[in-house]
Chain A
Amino acid sequence: MTGVPASKRVMAPVPDDVIPQQLDRATADSASPAASDAELLRAIGEGSEPAFEELRHRYRRAIERACRQIVGGDLEDCAQEVFVRIWRKASLYDRDRGSAPAWLLTLARRTALNVRRRRELPLPDELADETGAVEPPDVDRFWVEAALERLPERERRVLELAYFHDLSQSAIAAELRVPLGSVKSWTRRGLHRLATILDEETA
């Protein structure tokens, strides 16, 4: 996938009735930070590398975390293999059969289980029944890790400090050296933004 330089890649001819502006907009939209995960997968299925990079930016940490749970340390190979499979199989994603995060998490888990089997590591007790199938709460956790990557830096930071580091809003204000009102406002905006993303992804 990445072995051939973009300049040398053979591309299908553009039909005459497609004007360049339309083409630019279509490419940019499908890979923009505002595009939904499902839109990105569709674009990846059609061979869009910018869309793939955007998806990788969003899900890198979440996929590494999913790999770590199953493979343990040395997870870079596993995460890399997950992204290779996403690139190859994105065109198989069917929005009517489930959300994009659920599809991605299933793919990540199954890949990680294969990696673990190849390394001939025994499965620990908590993973003994693991088939790669995912539960809704797992999907929500997986999704939210990726959705955080789509927030503006300051909104993401206050939410991470509040939820992942258990800091009060006063403590966050002290940590970031900003007024308490700013922390409250960024927290509200960040949560609203995540709710909007969730609404779009599950629509």
Chain B
Amino acid sequence: MTHEHAWTRLPDLLDDRDQPELLAHVAACHDCQRQLFLLGRVDRALRGAAAARRNERRRFRRGRWLRFPAGLAAAAVAVLLVMMFLPHTAATHAFTLRTAAGRPIGQAILNRSDTENTSLTLVARGLPAHRRDTYVLWAGATNGRPTTVGRFMVDPTGACRARFNLPGGHRWARFWVTPPGQPHAVVATT
């Protein structure tokens, strides 16, 4: 992979860390590492701005509903009905990742995307600084062998935010993190 090609594709690493060729180039290229760090800051700023907008909209809606008690009551009834009659397939399930010492360092959050896929968001902070700053996330289902979910990169403070897709139709019971090539050296687990 040429430097130009890798440079162009650097933003892809914000979502999908399972690109060994690209990661190998980044691990050896100071310019790409620096740009990826800046891209990470931009990504966090955009997510922060999006969250602020959502909160603002929520506050606005809340204020509006409070001015209309009848609407509020109707909404409460509607929510109750939905909760009673809808199947609970869209629920979110979060697992807390802890180090061997029991210190919580992040969460793996499962969200049903559709019947065939389950999306997984990994958010961690304070992972031990690793020489190449990449880790592997594993998943264990109740009825199967461990599966590699994907690789992800952490920033110099050990923080990361990555998204993955898992096959649907499994009951995922456990997640853990290891350095690449060392499947038994568990750094953190749920």
Contact = CB atoms under 8 A, between A and B. Distances in A.
Interface in B35-80: 35, 38-39, 41-50, 52-53, 56
Contact of A144 (B8, B10, B49): B49
B41 A198 contact: yes
A146 B56 CA distance: 18
B9 interface: yes
Interface in B1-44: 8-12, 14, 35, 38-39, 41-44
Interface string A132-174: 0000010011011100000000000001000110100000000
Contacts of A143: 45
- The interface centre, meaning the residue of A137, A166, A191 with most chain B CB atoms within 10 A of its CB, is A191
A123 interface: no
A38 B104 CA distance: 41
Nearest to B7: A192
Contacts of A65: 52, 56
Nearest to A68: B56
Interface of A: 65, 68-69, 137, 140-141, 143-145, 159, 163-164, 166, 187-188, 191-192, 194-196, 198-199
A145 B56 CA distance: 15
9 contacts: A69-B56, A140-B41, A163-B46, A164-B49, A187-B11, A188-B9, A191-B39, A198-B42, A199-B38
B39 A192 contact: yes
B38 A144 contact: no
A164 B50 contact: yes
Contacts of B35: 192, 195
Interface of B: 8-12, 14, 35, 38-39, 41-50, 52-53, 56
Give the secondary structure class of B's interface: helix
A198 B42 CA distance: 8
A159 B46 contact: yes
B11 A163 contact: no
A121 to B, nearest CB: 14
B44 A140 contact: yes
B5 to A, nearest CB: 12
A194 B42 contact: yes
Question: Would you list the 6 A-B pairs with minimal beta carbon distance, nearest first?
Answer: A140-B45, A195-B38, A144-B45, A191-B11, A163-B46, A141-B48
A144 B39 contact: no
A140 B42 CA distance: 8
Contacts of B12: 188
Contacts of A188: 8-12
